[in-house]
Amino acid sequence: MHSFLESLSLMALSIIACLHPDQVRALAEVIMRRRALPRGLTPRDPGVAPGYLKGVLAVVSFLGALYAEEFWRCAHHARRSS
């Protein structure tokens, strides 16, 4: 279960990097201090659809519940073992 949960984060970042390579490149330039971090944020036009946001929130909540359940099991096992 631990490896599965770890791989979910890596897969999500990989998919985002493949979908938005220009943004990853820009972020890398900021991290390597070749470019200054932009100060202002501007909303996208058109904005993100509410249905999309609800779907992302549902998936993140589900994965968060998986992480919380695994943490609870590990903490419970550690208390019983000591």
> Confidence band (pLDDT; 50, 70, 90) for 18?
very high
Of the candidates 47, 48, 26, the residue with the CA atom closest to the CA atom of residue 37: 26
Looking at the predicted structure, is the pLDDT value of residue 62 above 80? yes
Q: Same domain, yes or no, for 2 and 35? A: yes
Prediction pTM value:
0.50
pLDDT tens string 63-74: 889 889 989 998
Give the range of the structural domain holding residue 54, as residue numbers without chain letter. 48-82
Q: Same domain, yes or no, for 34 and 60? A: no
Q: Cα angle vertex 25, ends 20, 26, to 5°?
A: 100
With a pLDDT cut of 90, the percent of the chain lying above it is 33
Domain count, the chain: 2
Give the model's pLDDT for residue 1: 66
Q: Same domain, yes or no, for 29 and 52? A: no
> Confidence band (pLDDT; 50, 70, 90) for 61?
very high
